[in-house]
């Protein structure tokens, strides 16, 4: 008897010898971990942001699981494991008789039998204590967490026993408390985050109008830069006179409103008056979501942006540089810079920036931003386009940028294609076609070969273009961005019944030689002369291009604001930082009130988004949702460009979204379990276990399908294909 006992003791004290396969598995795992740690260390600037983003997302899920854990323990349900992250588990700690058992690199959690065989090695820290129920684990995959309760399985049938600590043996009320506690903890966690941020202070974009797009609801409502929204959709979110609305509320109001419905606003104008307006968001051509046509207010500081290195090198500018002057005029806001870019009629816009230097006053940097010309403009209502002109004189078409897709199609078909700088002098049977004429020819020649002649490097080049209808479009295109040839004095044609009058018809393609006796060699020089003669009657001389034929005409110079219909736009937009305002509560009570407002706002946004998913003609679909990949990408950008406070604000919003999503009446999530418990309470007995199991599998399939679908679109957006 004694010998048997000794052998038993020896067996228990000797660690099991791992076989070769187990050794190989552990070796492979350590090599993988070492490689991952090396990559993290080698790219620490990026890795550190990703780690913080993952930890933040994990924390929101752990808070949810902590709610289940605390509620279960409070009603006497045994919890076999509580884990932060998923396995394999770097650390698994459990209170055992007279000590703390520590398992390193455990494969599973909550192991009851032969725990030493499930880990790399195990030891016990002596201390006076009783046997505990829960093993606390730290997983290597920081993608969430879980709590493992006795008698609770989502997809497997659990046999009831007589154990009073079994989840199945608790009352409906106790089980409902456990099921709903995760959602409650998510809301509490978000409240703590929002309140702390309100007390600490957080920078957000204020609901201030920075710019208004033409022919949009905001344009028709008479909004102007500097106007500030103080109430949106009947909500002001004001605490002790301090507004808590930000610019995202404007965007959300447009996206989440019922199609065709009016959204009421109260607007604080620059003169201090408050005006009430209503707007119906509209979805323009190419827009993914309906909009009001309001641009956020920007500053004059150069911002750091993804992929901006090439632009910064091109203009020799740096993030943090401050734009102080454009076209010789001192600037006060980003709105003035944007207005300057589209109102100046020059080949390039001269801009001066102030570069800050450590320990000094800084230095000035001067750059020129090339300007391009739009060949057309919207004429009247609708989408009818007219050729842009200078006092009725229409410049020739210039190829600004050939489309990559169209160029590839031409190359595959063995055809030459447009190149940047080409000047169009003939298309089909029209000499010196304008933009509207070329557009009309594109429709006529859809799918057919259209002859085009261009001037390239001072020589004429013949092309054969085949207009095509791109996927997802209804109209054919050639695949090119057109501008206008403003650096020459050659006109494509002169509009009839315009500002130019002549006894004879003026042929197409004439060279404008002089205006009011002053020689002109470009449209910029023409504009300079005509701007000084606004409202006057002046002479113009021209010659037919390529001949000695000369002629003259009279220009009834228009009023100054009507002389030039040609709108310029910058070849490159300087990335300027958006205007930010600190939102900070005055005292603890105001901070708590702000936290409550933010909880209400976030939960309302989540429910409005879900409602919009099922609304007829809604612009919100499943592919617009974001999964872990999209959230990780957004979190990364938030930390990198906006700081930790903005990231925590995002985490608070995600915590509210998790609460709403988890309490939907879908099998497998908390809301589905809650519905089954309510049914059990009403009918006096549980729903058949096999029915429950079938429902859980259906719910799991739906969740997995949604996860795959959302992740697929997240990846498409990440790589720029959507």
CA atoms within 13 A on the CB side of 590: 17
Cα–Cα distance list, 665 to 220, 660, 670 (Å): 43, 10, 8
Cα–Cα distance list, 152 to 178, 424, 527 (Å): 11, 74, 80
Residue 439 and residue 424: Cα distance in Å, rounded? 13
* Phi, psi angles (nearest 5°) of residue 10: -65, -40
Q: Please name the residue ranges forming H helices in 282-395.
A: 309-315, 334-343
DSSP 490: B
CB 65 within 8 A of CB 657: no
List the catalytic residue out of 3, 65, 224, 408: 65
Count the Cβ atoms, other than its own, within 10 Å of residue 553.
Answer: 19
CB 106 within 8 A of CB 225: no
CB 490 within 8 A of CB 496: no
Residue 595 and residue 588: Cα distance in Å, rounded? 10
CB 136 within 8 A of CB 116: no
65 in active site: yes
Residue positions counted in the chain: 722
Cα–Cα distance list, 105 to 20, 26, 111, 249 (Å): 17, 9, 13, 47
Contacts of 107 (CB under 8 A, 6+ apart): 87, 88, 89, 118, 119
Q: Residue 664: name the closest of 714, 614, 719 by CA.
A: 614
Residue 102 and residue 121: Cα distance in Å, rounded? 9
**28 three-state secondary structure:** helix
Residue 265 and residue 233: Cα distance in Å, rounded? 6
Q: What angle do CA 153, 155, 161 make, to 5 degrees?
A: 40
Residue 420 and residue 668: Cα distance in Å, rounded? 57
Residue 509 and residue 514: Cα distance in Å, rounded? 15
DSSP 567: P
Residue 607 and residue 622: Cα distance in Å, rounded? 14
**Residue found by looking up tokens 């409103």 in the block:** 257
For the chain, state the CA radius of gyration: 35
Give the alpha-carbon dihedral of 395, 397, 399, 400, to 10 degrees.
40
Contacts of 264 (CB under 8 A, 6+ apart): 231, 233, 234, 276, 277, 278
Residue 151 and residue 466: Cα distance in Å, rounded? 69
Residue 70 and residue 658: Cα distance in Å, rounded? 18
Cα–Cα distance list, 264 to 106, 228, 261, 279 (Å): 58, 14, 10, 7
Count the Cβ atoms, other than its own, within 10 Å of residue 462.
Answer: 10
Residue 661 and residue 708: Cα distance in Å, rounded? 17
Q: Residue 215: name the closest of 377, 408, 66, 374 by CA.
A: 377
Count the Cβ atoms, other than its own, within 10 Å of residue 703.
Answer: 15
CA atoms within 13 A on the CB side of 602: 27
* DSSP state letters, 391-407: TTEEEPEEEEEE-HHHH
DSSP 547: S
As annotated, the active-site residues are 65
């Amino acid at each position: 008897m004694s010998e048997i006992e000794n052998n038993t003791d020896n067996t228990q004290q000797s660690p099991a010898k791992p076989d070769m396969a187990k050794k190989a598995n552990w070796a492979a795992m350590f090599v993988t971990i070492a490689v991952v740690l090396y990559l993290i260390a080698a790219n620490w600037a990026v890795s550190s942001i990703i780690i913080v983003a993952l930890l933040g997302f994990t924390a929101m899920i752990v808070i949810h699981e902590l709610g289940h854990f605390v509620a279960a323990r409070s009603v006497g349900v045994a919890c076999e494991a509580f884990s932060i992250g998923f396995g394999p588990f770097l650390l698994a700690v459990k209170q055992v008789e007279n000590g703390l058992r520590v398992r390193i690199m455990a494969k599973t959690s909550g192991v009851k039998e032969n725990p030493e065989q499930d880990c790399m090695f195990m030891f016990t820290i002596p201390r006076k204590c009783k046997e505990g129920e829960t093993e606390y684990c730290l997983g290597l995959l920081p993608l969430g967490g879980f709590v493992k309760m006795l008698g609770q399985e989502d997809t497997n049938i659990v046999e009831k026993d007589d154990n009073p600590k079994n989840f199945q043996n608790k009352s409906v009320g106790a089980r409902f408390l456990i099921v709903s506690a995760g959602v409650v903890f998510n809301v509490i966690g978000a409240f703590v985050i929002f309140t702390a941020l309100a007390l600490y202070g957080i920078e957000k974009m204020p609901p201030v109008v920075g710019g208004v797009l033409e022919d949009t609801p905001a344009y028709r409502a008479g909004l102007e830069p500097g106007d500030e929204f103080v109430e949106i959709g009947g909500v002001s979110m004001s605490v002790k006179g301090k507004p808590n609305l930000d610019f995202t509320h404007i965007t959300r109001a447009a996206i989440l409103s019922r199609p065709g419905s009016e959204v009421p606003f109260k607007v604080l104008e620059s003169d201090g008056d408050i005006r009430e307006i209503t707007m119906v968001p509209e979805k323009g051509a190419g827009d993914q979501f309906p909009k009001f046509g309001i641009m956020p207010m920007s500053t004059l500081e150069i911002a750091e942006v993804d992929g901006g290195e090439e632009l910064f090198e091109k203009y020799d500018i740096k993030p943090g540089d401050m734009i102080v002057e454009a076209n010789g005029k001192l600037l006060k806001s980003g709105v003035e810079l944007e207005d300057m870019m589209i109102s100046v009629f020059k080949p390039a816009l001269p801009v001066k920036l102030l570069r800050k230097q450590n320990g000094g006053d800084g230095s000035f940097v001067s750059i020129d931003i090339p300007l391009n010309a739009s060949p057309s403009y919207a004429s009247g209502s609708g989408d009818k386009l007219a050729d842009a002109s200078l006092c009725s004189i229409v410049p020739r078409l210039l190829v600004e940028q050939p489309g990559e897709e169209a160029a590839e199609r031409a190359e595959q078909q063995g055809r030459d294609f447009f190149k940047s700088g080409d000047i169009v002098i003939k298309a089909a049977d029209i000499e010196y076609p304008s933009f509207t004429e070329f557009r009309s020819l594109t429709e006529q020649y859809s799918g057919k070969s259209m002859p085009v002649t261009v001037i390239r490097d001072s020589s004429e080049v013949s092309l054969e273009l085949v207009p095509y209808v791109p996927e997802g479009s209804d109209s054919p295109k050639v695949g090119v961005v057109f501008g206008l040839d403003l650096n020459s004095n050659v006109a494509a044609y002169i509009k009839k019944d315009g500002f130019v009058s002549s006894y004879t018809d003026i042929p197409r393609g004439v060279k404008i030689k002089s205006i009011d006796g002053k020689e002109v060699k470009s449209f910029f020089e023409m504009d300079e002369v005509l701007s000084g003669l606004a409202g006057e009657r002046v002479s113009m001389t021209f010659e037919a291009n390529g001949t000695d034929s000369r002629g003259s005409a009279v220009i009834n110079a228009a009023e100054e604001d009507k002389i030039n219909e040609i709108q310029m736009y910058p070849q490159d937009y300087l990335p300027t930082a958006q205007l930010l305002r600190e939102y900070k509560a005055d005292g603890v009570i105001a901070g708590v009130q702000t936290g409550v407002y933010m909880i209400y706002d976030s939960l309302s946004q989540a429910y409005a988004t879900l409602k919009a998913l099922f609304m007829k003609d809604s612009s919100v679909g499943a592919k617009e949702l974001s999964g872990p990949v999209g959230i990780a990408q957004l979190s990364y950008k938030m930390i990198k460009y906006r700081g930790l406070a903005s990231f925590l604000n995002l985490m608070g919003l995600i915590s509210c979204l998790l609460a709403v999503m988890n309490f939907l009446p879908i099998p497998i999530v908390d809301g589905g379990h809650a519905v089954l418990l309510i049914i059990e309470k009403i009918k006096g007995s549980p729903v058949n276990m096999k029915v429950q199991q079938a429902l859980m599998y259906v719910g799991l399939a739906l969740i997995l399908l949604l996860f795959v679908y959302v992740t697929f679109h997240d990846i498409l957006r990440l790589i720029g294909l959507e």
